Amino acid sequence: MKRIFTRISVLAGICLLAINVAFAQNITVKGRVTDGGDKSTIPSVSVLVKGTQNGTQTDATGAFSINAPANATLVFTYIGYVTQEVPVNNRTTLNIVLASNSQQLDQVVVVGYGTQRKIDVTGSVASVKGEDISKQASVNPISALQGKVAGVNITNSGSPGSSPQITIRGTGTIYGNLGVLYVVDGVWFDDVSFLNPSDIENLSILKDASSQSIYGIRAANGVVLITTKKGKTGDPVISYNGSVGYKKVTNQIEMANATEYATIINELIKSNDATAAPLFANPASYGEGTNWYNQGFRNALQTNHQISVNGGTEKTTYNFSLGYTNEEGIVKTQDYTRYTAKLSNDFQVLKPLKIGYTVSGTAINSNDIDGGIFRQLYAAGPVVPVYYADGSYGDANDFGLGGGNNFNPQVTLDYFNQKSKNYRITGNVYAELTFAKHFTFRTSAGGEFAQNEVRAYAPVYQATQGQRNTQSKLDIKRDENRNWIVENTLTYKNTFGDHNITILAGTTAQRRKNYFINSAAFDVPYSSDGDLYLALGSAGTRTVGDGGSLRTSASYFGRVNYSFKDRYLLNATIRRDGASQFFNGGDLWGNFPAVGAGWVVTSEDFMKDQKVVNYLKLKGSWGKVGNAGVPVNPTTLTIAQGGNLVAFFNGVGYTGASVNSIVPSFLNWERTVGTDLGLEARFLDNRLSIETGFYNKKTQQAIFDINVLSSIGTASSKLIGNQADFQNRGFEFLATYADKTKSDFSYSVSANVGINNNKVLSVITGLNPIYGGGQGIANGALATRTVQGSPIGAFFGYQVAGIFQNAADVAASAQKTSAKPGDFKYVDTNGDGVIDGKDRVVLGNPNPKYSYGLSSTFGYKNFDLTLDIQGVADVDVYNANIAYRFGNENFSKDFYDNRWHGEGTSTTYPSANVGSTANAAPNSFYVEDGSYIRLRNIQLGYVLPASLMNKLSIKKVRVFADAQNAVNLFGYKGFTPEIGYDTGSGPTSRGIDANVYPLSATYRLGLQVTF
């Protein structure tokens, strides 16, 4: 920390000399603050010199007096009223009129292609300030939203730099592009991991079809609008924001120690062969053994630094920032480093013409880990040491542990060598012309160039009998994305009498190009400095392959917003999209209409004399959006040649060809139709605000692939098509209470809850159920089923009724030919006296029904405290780790303590033979409650006294300490119940824990300085 303070001091001196800021002489400013409604004076109004801690309050008559620079800006704040900033401009008297907080409904809300007053919004739009995002320890800005917005479910991964999975109002599709659309300063993205959270000014989440429809083609899974920080008129303001801390694994699974492991392995051998000798003659002699989690995990360092410069004149404004983030993984050898730079300029060229640009660059480097390391750390035998006395690696084979337990995780950590690099440049340039008083024409062009490279090297080594490599290999994968988007809009805005109207018309053209190349070579010699090239390998072993895709789209859209007396509101939108991936044999063009209406009840005459409700608005909307996230030309039939295919013409053999895919003759757009009803209200002099909403979202003609018989002779065993309809129906609630006392204590408490029910409404005639979730399941069994009447990806298998205690118990059951004592006893659900696939039932739902959050802030003088709590309820997860066994893998301490190891020892846990075919089949034992509640974030900050800062010529210094995920409460027996889906399989694999990246808590100390 000493280095940080030293660097900041040097930086401050350089910046102050370079900018040569001249502080104006202080003057005494006096005045009175009155209510804009009844003209009464307001006592206890906070009066603050902007950018300092110099402040005062109005007295009982609303009067104030304060010493301030002649060119300062005074900030007037009072609960129930709109905050007002007033430049002094050498004036010694200022009389201020504050507007009631009901006027906060005039605050601007960012929506698609512009902004709206909050009072005019008829859809469901949630806004989060950038400062709330930057307070979190999350490297990815979307991770910081967890628990803050009703109806938005975010699943994080503990891996450094990873992108969270975000679901808005439930899962609406199971194929293709499952993510939301991110619009950053007008440019469309699938991921925003390149963004520095400190660069964000505001984030809006469009949750209903009415607000989303303006983005028709890509809005089916929701839209997140991100506005980055822009320059502001005034002297240069230099800011530094930095933190240092560490991450620590939470809720680490306790595994059986060496003695316990040896005991249960002996039991496993005995269960399979009653005459076999035990593998470990004296289990107690092994003691505690090796704790492989402690060996592989560490407390990981995390550092973050950002510096920004902001300022401008009436003609031009600027904002520039540089950021550095380094985050170690909790697994040794893993780390992630990100560098960011951003520059934006806005120029008022002429009074009616404004132009500007934003450009940002990101460079990311990471040292990766083997994806199977968590499986190894879980399963490795604790009787095996990390190293022998001579320094060689401990070998499982030396202990008779072959098969699936034939590894030493330390070998994997030491010899896995993969590095990833990602470079991305994004930008946007615009021009905005105002003419004929009410018209504004805006044109913008933006895009990105991104390159990702992964270099993996496997050297020659021999560490153990099972972990060795006799031929080195270098793999290089490079992926490029070159995307651009051009948009033009014309806006007409006018007020006449009691009527307000805004009309928007626009066009969009977009091009997304991807190119990749995969190459490899064997016999590449090792280089200690990391210089590894394919050309160094054997010429005959080099391989290369490439490919890519090109997607284009054209769109036309329009929107009308109308209000009468700010009482009756109407919003209508239409968008027409054409997408190239439907060019051959598809529904090329899609139309996406929407309409919304609102009624401000408190504007009616019959509500004017009541004092209970300060504001009440009822609103409703309907809309349609689309999902174009499918492969290019999905209806095009393709063929492939192969050496095993021969065609004879005139007795001469030729290389044959075969159809290698099955395609539909025609494909419709996947559409989502949504209905939304809502209420907004304020009570108690606007201190209490409430927002509620009900939604019904239906995905029509959902696109996904289904299994087909391999006997038809194609390389592909799946058929893509419009197969089913889904529904997400739910309720959302948000309540916020904010107040400030006369003793300099202020607080705000906000609570939200979302309730969602996901269900498959229908499937095409004769369609078999969609089975999934085989990743990480023993024997590759499919543990989920999607079928009419059930949720997407519901867990499906056998219902466990208990554990067989003896041979007589087995003989009397329907499993008499396939079970033995210690095995699961399954329920014969159809009563036919046989246990088979027909007895499987729905076991659980991986889609959370309830999600909730509590966000609170407290302030007392120079102290501030932020507290966030988040959780989900009524959700299930599948613990696949227990039965995923191929030999002598370790067991959790929980399993060891509760296992069946003789008649009467357990009626719930099976024997050590849990990995057998009979016991490993998907069943209710592996389905556990996935509900949790956690202390998502707690941060305590302190602003150093203004008197001290003035002496140092610094505007503000704030120090803080925080903790993220420090407290986690759940009953699940794994690391974390926060489990998403496998990206290759989609939502049909949601909630399956096959050794997911563990959850970690982050503890930080931070510093914020403004010059």
DSSP 659-692: E--B--S-BPPEEEEEEEEEEEEEETTTTEEEEE
Taking only the tens place, the pLDDT of each residue in 774-800 is: 777 887 889 999 888 999 999 999 999
Give, for 7, the enclosing helix (H) or strand (E). helix 2-19
Which of 562-571, 631-640, 831-840 has the least mean pLDDT?
A: 631-640
CB-hemisphere CA count at 13 Å for 476?
17
Q: Which of 58, 63, 59, 101 is closest to 79 using CA atoms? A: 101
Instruction: Quickly state the pLDDT bin for 485 (edges 50, 70, 90).
Output: very high
**Between 233 and 206, whose confidence is greater?**
206
- pLDDT over 70 for what percent of the chain? 90
Q: Up-side HSE of residue 132: CA atoms within 13 Å toward CB?
A: 20
Of these ranges, 43-47, 578-582, 690-694, the one predicted with the greatest mean pLDDT is 690-694
Helix (H) or strand (E) holding 117: strand 114-117
Paired tokens of 607: 């509500």
pTM passes above 0.75: yes
Length of the chain: 1011
Quick one: the chain helix, strand, coil %, rounded to 5?
15, 50, 35
**pLDDT: which is higher, 854 or 42:** 854
- C-alpha distances in angstroms, 558 versus 440, 572, 605, 803? 14, 8, 34, 64
Contact 477, 518 (CB under 8 A): yes
Bridge partners of residue 357, in order along the sequence:
345, 429
516-530, 566-580, 953-967: the lowest-pLDDT one: 516-530
Question: What is the residue whose two structure tokens read 């903790």?
Answer: 963
Q: What is the pLDDT of residue 38?
A: 59
Strands 841-844 and 794-797: antiparallel
Domain ranges, ordered by start, for the chain:
2-99, 103-231
Q: Which residue has tokens 């730079």?
A: 341
Which token pair is 480? 């490029």
The residue assigned the tokens 């400062």 is 131
2-99 in CATH: which number? 2.60.40.1120
Work out the average pLDDT over 43-49.
Answer: 85
List the single range of 77-81, 164-168, 477-481, 733-737 with lowest mean pLDDT.
Answer: 77-81
DSSP string, 875-919: -EEEETTTT--SSS---BHHHHHH---STTS-SSS--GGGGSHHH
pLDDT-derived band of residue 558, with 50, 70 and 90 as boundaries? Answer: very high
| Three-class secondary structure of residue 377 per DSSP | helix
| DSSP line for 266-294 | HHHHHHH-TTPPPS-S-GGGGTT---HHH
The pLDDT value recorded for residue 104 is: 52
Cα–Cα nearest to 104, from 129, 125, 128, 81: 81
What pLDDT, on a 0 to 100 scale, did the predictor assign at position 3? 44
Query: Tens of pLDDT along 496-510?
Result: 889 999 999 999 999
Residue carrying the six token digits 């120690």: 257
């009467």: which residue's tokens?
Answer: 904
Asked whether the predicted pLDDT for residue 92 surpasses 70, the reply is yes
Work out the average pLDDT over 130-153.
91
- Which range has the worst mean pLDDT, 73-77, 334-338, 392-396, 435-439? 73-77
Distances, alpha carbon 379 to alpha carbons 382, 404, 614, 891, in Å? 9, 9, 61, 7
pLDDT band at 53 (very low <50, low <70, confident <90, very high): confident
Averaged pLDDT, 324-329: 96
Q: Write down the mean pLDDT value for the chain.
A: 89
The residues that bridge with 312 in the sheet, in sequence order, are: 234, 317
Q: Tell me how far apart the alpha carbons of residues 505 and 915 are, in angstroms, rounded to a whole number.
A: 62
Question: What Å distances lie between residue 4 and 7, 21, 139, 325, 938, CA to CA?
Answer: 5, 24, 20, 15, 23
pLDDT, one tens digit per residue, over 673-732 is 999 999 999 999 899 999 999 999 999 888 776 665 555 555 555 667 778 899 999 999
Position 22 pLDDT exceeds 50 = no
Query: Which 8-state DSSP code applies to residue 251?
Result: S
Give dist(CA 327, CA 315) in Å, integer. Answer: 40
Which of 74-83, 394-403, 540-549, 897-906 is most confident? Answer: 897-906
pLDDT at 11: 41
What's the CA gap between 203 and 130, in Å, rounded?
7
365 contact partners, CB below 8 Å, separation of at least 6: 336, 337, 419, 420, 421
- Lowest average pLDDT, out of 452-456, 753-757, 866-870, 953-957, goes to 953-957
Identify the three-state secondary structure at position 756. strand
Tell me the C-alpha distance between 869 and 852, whole Å.
8
**Residue corresponding to tokens 């209409």:** 593
CA pair distance 226, 192, nearest whole angstrom: 10
178 phi, psi to nearest 5 deg: -100, -10
- Supply 263's token pair: 């005991």
- Return the residue matching tokens 């490919």: 547
79 with 741: CB under 8 angstroms? no
Binned at pLDDT 50, 70 and 90, residue 15 comes out as very low
- Report the distance separating Cα 826 and Cα 835, nearest Å: 7
Given phi > 0 = left and psi -120 to 50 = alpha, else beta, which region is 77? Answer: beta
Confidence of residue 23 (pLDDT cuts 50, 70, 90): very low
Query: Residue 406: pLDDT band by 50, 70, 90 thresholds?
Result: confident
- φ/ψ of 204, rounded to 5, equals -120, 135
Tokens read off for 391: 């320094």
The Cα–Cα gap between 118 and 834 comes to 62
Within 10 Å of residue 156's Cβ, how many Cβ atoms?
23
The pLDDT, as a whole number, for residue 20 is: 35
Q: If residue 968 lies in a helix (H) or strand (E), which one and from where to where?
A: strand 956-970
Instruction: Say yes or no: domain 103-231 is CATH 2.170.130.10.
Output: yes
Distance CA 538, CA 941 (A): 60
Gap between the Cα atoms of 850 and 871, Å rounded? 8
At residue 2 the predicted structure's pLDDT band, cuts being 50, 70 and 90, is very low
For residue 100, what are the contacts with CB-CB under 8 A and spacing of at least 6? 35, 36, 37, 80, 81, 82, 686
- Cα–Cα distance list, 129 to 135, 140, 202, 204, 511 (Å): 11, 15, 5, 9, 31
Segment of 215-229, 278-292, 635-649, 666-680 carrying the highest mean pLDDT: 278-292
- Tell me, rounded to whole angstroms, the distance of Cα 732 from its chain centroid: 20
- In this structure, are residues 630 and 668 in contact, taking their beta carbons and an 8 Å threshold? no
The pLDDT of 544-563, averaged and rounded, is 94
Q: What is the per-residue pLDDT for 432?
A: 96
Q: pLDDT at residue 873 above 70?
A: yes
> Which candidate, 920, 889, 904, places its Cα nearest to that of 824?
920
Please report the pLDDT score of residue 13 as a whole number.
41
Q: Which pLDDT value is given to residue 990?
A: 93
Is 80 exceeded by the pLDDT of residue 530?
A: no
Q: How confident is the model at residue 543 (pLDDT cuts 50, 70, 90)?
A: very high
> What integer pLDDT is reported at residue 757 of this predicted model?
96
Instruction: Report the half-sphere exposure of 412 (CA within 13 A, side-chain side).
Output: 22
Q: Tell me: pLDDT of 824 over 60.
A: yes
The predicted pLDDT at position 714 comes to: 52
Lookup: tokens for 48: 């603050």
pLDDT at 1: 38
Sign of CA dihedral 579, 584, 586, 589: positive
Here the tokens at position 625 are 């959006």
Q: Locate tokens 């009066």: which residue? A: 47
Contact 245, 1000 (CB under 8 A): no
Binned at pLDDT 50, 70 and 90, residue 863 comes out as very high
